[in-house]
A and B are shown apart, each in its own frame.
Chain A
Amino acid sequence: MASPVGWMVAPATTPFTVVSILTSARDRAIAIQSLAVSRSSSCPKTGLPWWQTGSEATGRRLPDKLRGRCIAGAQLETRLMTLRPNDLHRPGSAVPLVPYLKSMWSFRRYAVALAKARVESTNAETALGRVWLLGEPLLFIAVYGTIFGLILDADRGVENFIGFLAAGQILYRHNSQSLQQAASSIRTFEAQIQTMPVPRILFPITSVLSTFFNQVPAFGVMLVLLVATGERPSLAWLFIVPIIGGQFLLNLGLGAILARAVAHLPDFANILTHVFRALLYASGVVFPIRAFVEERENGELFLSLLTIFNPIYAYLELGRWALMDISPGSAGLVILSASCWSIGSLIVGVLWLRRVELRFGFGQIRNAP
């Protein structure tokens, strides 16, 4: 079987826009042989030099009469030209990393516009619309505050348990909602993916962006609730900006990874709901998990493992440290884990998703060739 070859041969002065698909061994042989032939040859039928057989040499399209006879010669002749790989590239986003990233950047306005449109359309689905962006966290706090604060008495000496819940839930939701949206982004944007040759990484990014836009009012609610429950705003509150930024990067990276995983195996989406339910507890959203772990034997070790393997926990610790002055067990490890996960997952996510870039054009890649 012939190995896949692509030869694109075009004249140095580039009079032609050429699309060439050479797959067979025969074509490859012709191309290789032709390269050895002089480039000044002419159309075998009309005797015109090759550059007059194309459309631009004459300024206009060639008359049909002449054209029909010359086309074979012209096609052959394009294969005689020097190889100019720099002039030609693969279409779409199947390009090397640097042009890929440039192309991604050039579509940033599109991603933002698409994300905003998505925010509007999801909010238009319910009668109360945007009100739910504020109502949802409040209901959550009411339910979990009653269960964990009043009934189970699991606050372990946290003075402001309502504030603790507000900061935890709203920051956690930023991660969990973004990641779940990003995980299903290949399906959500299927229509776009099947008709537009833009870098596929844009679609998990768009999901993460639209969730972020939706979360902005909730971040406001969080600050209001903290003040209402007796926290004093301080300069340390400014740290919430890089913390949310770090969460955002983590969402982009892990989101890209999940997007590809779900595209490979759609069944994975069913497990994700439970993963995030487990993470709700494992990140200490609704109770001070650190106090519980430290009570145990080998508590220190487990706490380190939790910090290293659960970046969402690390970000919640950082958030509560900045907003409520609850210092994390080991500040250095928490900061290290959070930043390594954000940057590392972003690099892995972009590279890993890019490898199957064009297979998404077939829909779910499990069924793709």
Chain B
Amino acid sequence: MTKIEALTGVTFDLYRGECVGFVGGNGAGKSTLLRTIAGICAPTEGDVLVRDQPWLLGVQASLLPRLTGHQNIVIGLLSLGLTDEEVARFAPDVANFSNLGAALDRPFKTFSSGMRARLKFSIATVKRPSILLLDEALAVGDLNFKRRSIRRLNTLRDNATTIKMVSHNTQEIRRICDRTIWLDGGKLVRDGSTNDVIDAYEAAQNAVSALEQTQDDASAG
């Protein structure tokens, strides 16, 4: 039996309309944290309390490979707990925003990873959720779609959606988030305004790279 303490002693409050970025190395606990906030896994100690059910947009597939894009839009919207009328109302918007056109008539398994990500992003953001959790959701879309996604995220944020996003792209975080939390080894390293935290995070990353470079040079020389 393997037990991993992914997160320990992480405490913070998030406010409506805030857009918070999470940064940290691989295995720092970012995704576990988002999944815990979404209510997919339970913390062994401590508690998460929310005013509304967060929507998690992860990289893993929850759409069905054999169904067409259009059928997957319906099933995706139902999986978010929408009613029949809402599904009928929002489905065309999703198709439009995803901009996948005729490809939506093909089975989902024929989609490229970028197209899959576009469809999932379009589904999760069509209705204004009050808390939106993004796990590397913008990593695979093309440039054009990325820009439209960022515009949509800004609109959501201005309409009081709380957004939490995990990303390895610090530029992306600087553009979208006003607050950033840096996690390392399951612990909260720093929590503050994006510029301060990202500056510190990048400085630390650079220092590590520089150190490794000198070690490599030393062993090579």
Interface residues of A (CB under 8 A from B): 2, 4-6, 8, 10, 14-24, 27, 54-56, 60-61, 64, 67-68, 71, 74-75, 78, 87-94, 103, 106-107, 109-110, 113-114, 117, 120-121, 124, 191-198, 357-359, 361-362, 366-369
Q: How many residues of B contact A (CB 8 A)?
A: 61
Task: Report the separation of the CA atoms of residues A24 and B196 in the bound assembly, to the nearest whole angstrom.
Answer: 26
Max chain A CB contacts within 10 Å: which of B10, B40, B60, B158?
A: B40
The answer to whether B16 touches A195, judged by C-beta atoms less than 8 angstroms apart, is no
Q: Which one of A2, A19, A23, A124 contacts B13 once the chains associate, using CB atoms below 8 Å?
A: A19
A-B contact pairs, 22 of them (CB 8 A): A6-B46, A17-B16, A17-B162, A19-B12, A19-B48, A20-B47, A20-B48, A21-B12, A23-B10, A23-B46, A55-B160, A61-B178, A75-B12, A88-B51, A94-B42, A107-B78, A113-B78, A117-B75, A192-B79, A194-B40, A359-B42, A369-B44
Chain B binding surface SS class: loop
- A44 CB to nearest B CB, Å: 16
Residue of A nearest to B18 (CB): A55
**With A17-B162, A24-B9, A61-B178 as given contacts, are A90 and B41 in contact (CB-CB < 8 Å)?**
no
**With A6-B47, A21-B47, A54-B15 as given contacts, are A369 and B3 in contact (CB-CB < 8 Å)?**
yes
Residue of B nearest to A91 (CB): B39
Task: Report the separation of the CA atoms of residues A194 and B62 in the bound assembly, to the nearest whole angstrom.
Answer: 9
The answer to whether A75 touches B13, judged by C-beta atoms less than 8 angstroms apart, is yes
- A64 CB to nearest B CB, Å: 6
For B62, the chain A residues whose CB sits under 8 A away are: 191-192, 195-196
The answer to whether A195 touches B40, judged by C-beta atoms less than 8 angstroms apart, is yes
For A74, the chain B residues whose CB sits under 8 A away are: 15
The answer to whether A17 touches B71, judged by C-beta atoms less than 8 angstroms apart, is no
For A64, the chain B residues whose CB sits under 8 A away are: 178, 193, 195
The answer to whether B84 touches A191, judged by C-beta atoms less than 8 angstroms apart, is no
Residue of A nearest to B87 (CB): A109
The answer to whether A124 touches B81, judged by C-beta atoms less than 8 angstroms apart, is no
Check: B130 CB closer than 8 A to any chain A CB: yes
The answer to whether B66 touches A21, judged by C-beta atoms less than 8 angstroms apart, is no
**With A113-B75, A117-B75 as given contacts, are A17 and B14 in contact (CB-CB < 8 Å)?**
yes
Residue of B nearest to A112 (CB): B78
Check: B134 CB closer than 8 A to any chain A CB: no
**Contact mask B85-121 → A, CB, 8 Å, 1/0?**
0000000000000000000000000000000000000
Task: Report the separation of the CA atoms of residues A357 and B108 in the bound assembly, to the nearest whole angstrom.
Answer: 29
Task: Report the separation of the CA atoms of residues A67 and B12 in the bound assembly, to the nearest whole angstrom.
Answer: 16
Residue of A nearest to B81 (CB): A106
Residue of B nearest to A118 (CB): B64
The answer to whether B42 touches A361, judged by C-beta atoms less than 8 angstroms apart, is yes
Task: Report the separation of the CA atoms of residues A103 and B39 in the bound assembly, to the nearest whole angstrom.
Answer: 14
The answer to whether A78 touches B13, judged by C-beta atoms less than 8 angstroms apart, is yes
For A22, the chain B residues whose CB sits under 8 A away are: 11, 46-47
